[in-house]
């Protein structure tokens, strides 16, 4: 049984919280005392009816305002899969939260209110899903009960969404008519929409193949830490601890260390101190090389025949996340890419992207939640792959040098 | 329960699909190594409970064949189960880890703090002072903890690298965005980061992992006969550190503990589960979550944990 991480996106009141609550409820993942707590909280509110949305509302300030402002995680499972649901707020002022949630997601559920159809937020959420390279997108057309469960209404929205999706790079798209409130087509197929013959939401969640999404070709390994026990029996031991970002590594593989370009051969791969044959994507292992070369945190071990780009000049899509300062050409930051950190300066803002209309705009500076294509110059060379080809080795963050806050999410092009 | 199409048609699920425990383990090891790589003076907060035992095991795997490159730190409330303390000392010795213990009792004396009194008095809140003092004493810049997001609503929103200001405070509104697995541990002197490598594990995942890895636990996690205080429907260890209440009844029951925090606020569950398998089976069918069943401290107000975290709690 494997793990699927998915994000839910929608405008306020589209029914995101109700949908997650419904998934948890119908898959029997709500525990008795949690149910009691919700019942207790529901009573103090106006309606008195049990509100499944309360399951995902975390912090008190949010409870008071009745909205979700940060990223919340929920865990549940079915006999077929374990799930981590990432709930991010939908309003434009929280774009950075959605970008954050989307960065780790294998799948996105984008909610559309059947009464309103494709709206500005739908366009924005879809752009973010596409830009962050989420391989699978489910568009859940919610509140079908409020449009008489009409097939025509569904088809019309599905058509306009498909048109929108053509402008983006969404690899795998499924559109499902649902009612989160009634549980229609969430876990059980709905008798209210007999005309719908596709899969239920849960069945898509349970069956999408995430293994295929991973980059199995490009051998990339960022060194996190050098293990040197320096005991008598392990006197010369030098193990490079890290996680396989993409591809696979085997004993005997010829490799190259970047950015120094030194070549060597894998002498041994270990996990938990035991030798293993091979290490594949996302495994945390220790690599030992045949040659004694100087490697430290921030270096990459990559396959000899298939190398990333090594450069100090980088072009990237950036989502700006700082609410206090703007990004301007000439500004300096710390770029963190894999385990490497380098100072960098902004050479240029090529264009900004209107995340609602997808139009390219001229821009002098970026403020919170702006998305733009920028040009960076780094102090040290960076060994990267384009993000759309290799999510793990094409992602980077910008850190403010004085406040140390993470201020930008970069997808290297 | 429905049978999936794959099972029904006799085709087994993709063989190379990774197992979730392997995925969670790899992520936790990655996080541990980020701590060792990014910080100068990290520490692992160790309580003797199953979550921190899991952390120690993960840390051993992360740095094998070397030793864990940071000390284990225990904030001892003086209200701990003796079994957990013995386990702690044996484990530290066995793996050759440095163990730092600091006592809430000492903080109370040094600072002239007032202890709670009365029926549900607990030192839980006072732990924060000792923890912050210990961080200052050793200049720890990162503290690894065993909190999980499924435990509680405030935790569900906390970052894996959770920034704390120079007063140890957590500000839920100003958390650093945490993108991909690029953890930002850059801080100023005096600030620190709490790191939660098993954020994405559920209680059941921890149990399943303990079993898979053959990890032994303190005996109180398994069914045994014990004299207890029955109070408000909850079973508390019968110990002098719990202030007696006229309504209390002393009973003897077959119980186990699901968490082993401070004895004053950790309740036992009646159980005959004597092995990991039996415990897992029991939890799988149990309809009450861990904190709700056994922690008394979170229930007093709906936002109890959030308030404590803002003040510098784990
Ligand atoms: N009729 C109907 N109402 C729904 C449905 N889903 C959600 N709602 C209601 O829409 C409102 C907003 O839902 P909520 O889950 O809080 O939205 P969120 O802001 O996206 O999390 C609530 O009053 C829900 O009860 C649905 O499928 N049908």
Distance A323 CA to ligand 1 centre (A): 30
Lowest-confidence pick of A179-188, B234-243, B288-297: B288-297
pLDDT, residue A92, reads 75
Name which of A299, A293, A239, A243 is nearest B63 in CA terms.
Answer: A239
Kindly identify which residue of chain B lies nearest to residue A188, measuring between CA atoms.
B2
Of the pLDDT bands very low, low, confident and very high (cuts 50, 70, 90), residue A155 is: very high
Strands A172-177 and A136-142, how do they pair?
Answer: parallel
Q: Which residues have CB under 6 Å of ligand 1?
A: A 10, 12-18, 53, 142-143, 145-146, 179-181
Instruction: Determine contact, residues B72/B56, Cβ cutoff 8 Å.
Output: yes
Top pLDDT among B287 and B258 is at: B258
Lowest-confidence pick of A50-64, A257-271, A289-303: A50-64
User: Does B233 have pLDDT greater than 50?
Assistant: yes
The mean pLDDT value for A267-279 works out to: 96
The mean pLDDT value for A61-79 works out to: 69
Contact B186 A99 (CB under 8 A): no
pLDDT, residue B222, reads 93
| Average pLDDT over chain B, rounded to an integer | 83
pLDDT, residue A175, reads 98
Of the pLDDT bands very low, low, confident and very high (cuts 50, 70, 90), residue A218 is: very high
- The C-alpha atoms of residue A24 and residue A69 are separated, in whole angstroms, by 21
The mean pLDDT value for A147-165 works out to: 96
User: Does B296 have pLDDT greater than 60?
Assistant: no
User: Does A52 have pLDDT greater than 80?
Assistant: no
Say yes or no: ipTM exceeds 0.95. Answer: no
- The C-alpha atoms of residue A410 and residue B32 are separated, in whole angstroms, by 24
Residue B295 makes CB contacts below 8 A (sequence gap 6+) with B259, B261, B265, B266, B267
Match 């924005």 to its residue by tokens: A124
Per the omega criterion (within 30 degrees of 0), is the bond before A238 cis? no
Question: Does A3-212 match A309-412 in CATH topology?
Answer: no
Max Cα-Cα span within chain A: 76
Contact A70 B62 (CB under 8 A): no
Structure tokens at B166: 């120079």
The mean pLDDT value for A168-172 works out to: 90
Lowest-confidence pick of A38-52, A330-344, A353-367, B62-76: A38-52
CA–CA distances in Å: residue B247 to residues A343, B233, B237, B238, B244: 65, 11, 15, 14, 9
Length of chain A, in residues: 413
* Minimal C-alpha gap between A331 and chain B (Å): 19
Of the pLDDT bands very low, low, confident and very high (cuts 50, 70, 90), residue B1 is: very low
Residue A59: Cβ-neighbour burial (10 angstroms; 0-12, 13-18, 19+): buried
Name which of A76, A134, A131 is nearest A104 in CA terms.
Answer: A134
Top pLDDT among B212 and B127 is at: B212
Structure tokens at B4: 């999936």
CA quadruple A334, A340, A342, A348: dihedral positive or negative? negative
DSSP classification of residue A43: H
Strands, sheet with A107-113, edge to edge from the N-terminal-most edge strand: A72-77, A82-87, A3-9, A107-113, A136-142, A172-177
The mean pLDDT value for B132-149 works out to: 94
- The C-alpha atoms of residue A406 and residue A401 are separated, in whole angstroms, by 10
Instruction: Determine contact, residues B236/B267, Cβ cutoff 8 Å.
Output: yes
pLDDT, residue B161, reads 96
User: Does A286 have pLDDT greater than 90?
Assistant: yes
Structure tokens at B22: 């392997």
- The C-alpha atoms of residue A155 and residue A164 are separated, in whole angstroms, by 14
pLDDT, residue B231, reads 85
pLDDT, residue A211, reads 83
CA–CA distances in Å: residue B147 to residues B142, B277, B308, B314: 15, 23, 14, 8
User: Does A360 have pLDDT greater than 50?
Assistant: yes
Q: Side-chain half-sphere of A333: how many Cα atoms within 13 Å? A: 28
pLDDT, residue A163, reads 94
Structure tokens at A152: 């025509």
Lowest-confidence pick of A289-293, B208-212, B263-267: B263-267
pLDDT, residue A213, reads 86
Instruction: Determine contact, residues A360/A366, Cβ cutoff 8 Å.
Output: no
Structure tokens at B267: 């309740």
Instruction: Determine contact, residues A76/A49, Cβ cutoff 8 Å.
Output: no
Lowest-confidence pick of A108-112, A338-342, B74-78: B74-78
A395 touches chain B (CB under 8 A): yes
User: Does A335 have pLDDT greater than 70?
Assistant: yes
The dihedrals phi and psi of A373, each to the nearest 5 degrees, come to -100, 125
Residue A296 makes CB contacts below 8 A (sequence gap 6+) with A223, A226
pLDDT, residue B111, reads 79
Distance A369 CA to ligand 1 centre (A): 26
Name which of B162, B182, B184, B181 is nearest B171 in CA terms.
Answer: B162
Kindly identify which residue of chain A lies nearest to residue B163, measuring between CA atoms.
A405
Nearest alpha carbon, ligand 1 atom 26 = A143
Of the pLDDT bands very low, low, confident and very high (cuts 50, 70, 90), residue B5 is: very low
Residue B241 makes CB contacts below 8 A (sequence gap 6+) with B78, B79, B263, B264
Top pLDDT among B226 and B1 is at: B226
pLDDT, residue B6, reads 33
Among the four given CATH numbers 3.40.50.700, 2.40.30.10, 1.10.1040.10, 2.40.50.140, the one describing domain A220-303: 2.40.30.10
User: Does A46 have pLDDT greater than 90?
Assistant: no
- The C-alpha atoms of residue A66 and residue A118 are separated, in whole angstroms, by 24
Length of chain B, in residues: 314
CA quadruple A399, A405, A407, A411: dihedral positive or negative? positive
| Average pLDDT over chain A, rounded to an integer | 90
- The C-alpha atoms of residue A295 and residue A217 are separated, in whole angstroms, by 24
Could you give the angle at the alpha carbon of B97 between the alpha carbons of B160 and A298, nearest 5°?
45
User: Does B153 have pLDDT greater than 50?
Assistant: yes
Lowest-confidence pick of A75-79, A141-145, A195-199: A75-79
Of the pLDDT bands very low, low, confident and very high (cuts 50, 70, 90), residue B15 is: very low
pLDDT, residue A252, reads 96
Instruction: Determine contact, residues B129/B111, Cβ cutoff 8 Å.
Output: yes
Structure tokens at A133: 């390279």
Of the pLDDT bands very low, low, confident and very high (cuts 50, 70, 90), residue B8 is: very low
Look at residue A70 and give its three-state secondary structure: coil
Structure tokens at A96: 């950075």
The rounded percent of chain B whose pLDDT value lies above 70 is 83
- The C-alpha atoms of residue B171 and residue B126 are separated, in whole angstroms, by 20
pLDDT tens digits for range A15-28 = 888 898 889 888 87
pLDDT, residue A56, reads 60
Of the pLDDT bands very low, low, confident and very high (cuts 50, 70, 90), residue A49 is: low
Structure tokens at A304: 């000899």
pLDDT tens digits for range A229-257 = 988 888 889 999 999 999 999 999 999 99
Structure tokens at A150: 């009409």
Q: Which residues pair with A342 in a beta bridge?
A: A335
Instruction: Determine contact, residues B72/B46, Cβ cutoff 8 Å.
Output: yes
pLDDT, residue B289, reads 55
The mean pLDDT value for B187-198 works out to: 94
Of the pLDDT bands very low, low, confident and very high (cuts 50, 70, 90), residue A69 is: low
Cα pseudo-dihedral B13, B18, B24, B28, rounded to 10: 180
The mean pLDDT value for A23-38 works out to: 76
The region that residue A147 occupies, defined by phi over 0 for left and psi between -120 and 50 for alpha, beta otherwise, is alpha
A309-412, CATH topology level: Elongation Factor Tu (Ef-tu); domain 3 (2.40.30)
The mean pLDDT value for B227-243 works out to: 82
pLDDT, residue B13, reads 39
**Chain B neighbours among A 276-305 (CB < 8 Å)?**
282-284, 286, 297
Mutation probe of ligand 1 site: the residue of A7, A9, A12, A13 with most atoms within 8 A of C-beta: A13
- The C-alpha atoms of residue B130 and residue B133 are separated, in whole angstroms, by 5
Instruction: Choose the closest CB to A2 out of B20, B62, B289.
Output: B20
Could you give the angle at the alpha carbon of A31 between the alpha carbons of A26 and A35, nearest 5°?
85
Distance A344 CA to ligand 1 centre (A): 45
Number of CB atoms found within 10 A of residue A324's CB: 10
Kind and range of the H or E run holding A63: helix A60-65
Of the pLDDT bands very low, low, confident and very high (cuts 50, 70, 90), residue B58 is: very high
Helix orientation angle between B203-212 and B276-285, rounded to the nearest 10 degrees: 160
> What are the strands, taking DSSP E only, across B151-233?
161-164, 192-195, 224-231
Of the pLDDT bands very low, low, confident and very high (cuts 50, 70, 90), residue B287 is: low
Instruction: Determine contact, residues B164/B214, Cβ cutoff 8 Å.
Output: no
What DSSP line would sit under B81-119, residue for residue? -HHHHHHHHHHHHHHT--EEEEEHHHHHHHHTPPPP-ST
The mean pLDDT value for A387-391 works out to: 94
> Which ligand 1 atom sits nearest the alpha carbon of residue A142?
27
User: Does A291 have pLDDT greater than 90?
Assistant: yes
Top pLDDT among B109 and A43 is at: B109
3-state DSSP percent of chain B in helix, strand and coil, to 5: 40, 15, 45
Residue B246 makes CB contacts below 8 A (sequence gap 6+) with none
* Minimal C-alpha gap between A190 and chain B (Å): 16
CATH 3.40.1350.10 fits domain A3-212: no
**Domain extent listing, chain A:** 3-212, 220-303, 309-412
């Amino acid at each position: 049984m494997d793990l699927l991480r998915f994000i839910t996106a929608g405008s306020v009141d589209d029914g995101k919280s109700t949908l997650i609550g419904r998934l948890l409820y119908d898959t029997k993942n709500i525990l008795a005392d949690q149910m009691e707590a919700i019942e207790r909280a529901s009573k103090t509110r106006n309606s008195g009816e049990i509100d499944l949305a309360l399951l995902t509302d975390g912090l008190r300030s949010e409870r008071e305002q009745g909205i979700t402002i940060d990223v919340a995680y929920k865990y549940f499972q079915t006999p077929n899969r374990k799930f981590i649901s990432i709930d991010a707020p939908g309003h434009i002022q929280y774009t950075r939260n959605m970008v954050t949630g989307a960065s780790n997601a294998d799948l996105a559920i984008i909610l559309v209110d059947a009464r309103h159809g494709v709206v500005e937020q739908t366009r924005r959420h879809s752009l973010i899903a596409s830009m962050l390279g989420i391989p699978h997108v489910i568009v859940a057309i919610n509140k079908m009960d409020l449009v008489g469960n009409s097939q025509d209404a569904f088809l019309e929205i599905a058509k306009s969404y498909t048109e929108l999706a053509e402008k983006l790079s969404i690899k795998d798209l499924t559109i499902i008519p649902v009612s989160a409130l009634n549980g229609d087509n969430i876990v059980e197929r709905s008798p209210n929409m007999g005309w719908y013959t596709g899969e239920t939401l849960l069945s898509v969640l349970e069956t999408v193949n995430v293994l295929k999404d991973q980059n199995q070709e490009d051998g990339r390994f960022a060194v996190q830490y050098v293990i040197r026990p320096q005991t008598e029996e392990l006197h010369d031991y030098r193990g490079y601890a890290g996680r396989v970002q993409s591809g696979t590594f085997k004993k005997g593989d010829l490799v190259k260390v970047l950015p120094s370009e030194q070549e060597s051969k894998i002498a041994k791969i270990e996990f938990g101190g035991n030798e293993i044959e091979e290490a594949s994507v996302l495994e945390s292992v220790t690599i030992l090389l045949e040659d004694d070369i100087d490697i430290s945190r921030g270096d990459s071990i990559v396959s000899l025949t298939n190398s990333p780009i090594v450069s100090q000049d980088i072009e990237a899509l950036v989502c700006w996340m700082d609410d206090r300062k703007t990004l301007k050409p000439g500004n300096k930051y710390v770029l963190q890419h894999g385990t490497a950190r380098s100072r960098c300066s902004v050479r240029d803002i090529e264009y900004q992207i209107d995340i609602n209309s997808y139009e390219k705009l001229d821009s002098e500076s970026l403020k919170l939640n702006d998305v733009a294509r920028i040009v960076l110059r780094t102090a040290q060379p960076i060994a990267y792959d384009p993000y759309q080809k290799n999510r793990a080795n094409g992602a980077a963050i910008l850190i403010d040098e004085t406040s140390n806050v993470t201020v930008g999410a970069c997808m290297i092009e | 329960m429905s049978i999936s199409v794959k099972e029904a048609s006799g085709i087994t699920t993709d063989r190379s699909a990774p197992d979730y425990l392997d995925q969670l383990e790899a992520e936790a090891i990655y996080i541990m190594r980020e701590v060792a790589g990014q910080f100068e003076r990290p520490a692992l907060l160790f309580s003797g409970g199953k979550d921190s035992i899991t952390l120690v095991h993960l840390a051993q795997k992360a740095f094998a064949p070397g030793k864990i490159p940071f000390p284990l730190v225990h904030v001892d409330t003086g209200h701990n189960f003796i079994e957990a303390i013995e386990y702690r000392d044996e484990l530290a010795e066995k793996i050759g880890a440095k163990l730092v213990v600091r006592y809430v009792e000492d903080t109370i004396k040094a600072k002239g703090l007032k202890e709670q009194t009365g029926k549900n008095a607990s030192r839980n809140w006072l732990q924060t002072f000792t923890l912050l003092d210990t961080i200052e004493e050793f200049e720890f810049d990162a503290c690894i903890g065993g909190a999980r997001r499924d435990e509680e609503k405030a935790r569900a929103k906390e970052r894996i690298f959770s920034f704390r200001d120079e007063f140890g405070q957590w500000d839920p509104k100003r958390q650093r965005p945490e993108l991909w697995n690029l953890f930002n541990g850059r801080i100023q002197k005096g600030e620190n980061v709490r790191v939660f490598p098993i954020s994405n594990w559920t209680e059941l995942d921890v149990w399943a992992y303990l079993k898979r890895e053959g990890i032994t636990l303190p005996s109180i996690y398994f069914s045994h006969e014990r004299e207890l205080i029955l109070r408000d429907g909850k079973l508390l260890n019968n110990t002098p550190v719990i202030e007696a209440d006229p309504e209390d009844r002393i009973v003897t029951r077959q119980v186990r503990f699901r968490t082993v925090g401070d004895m004053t606020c950790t309740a036992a569950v009646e159980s005959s589960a004597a092995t990991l398998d039996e415990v897992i089976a029991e939890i799988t069918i149990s309809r009450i979550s861990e904190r709700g069943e056994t922690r008394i401290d979170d229930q007093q107000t709906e936002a109890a944990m959030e308030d404590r975290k803002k003040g510098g709690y784990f």
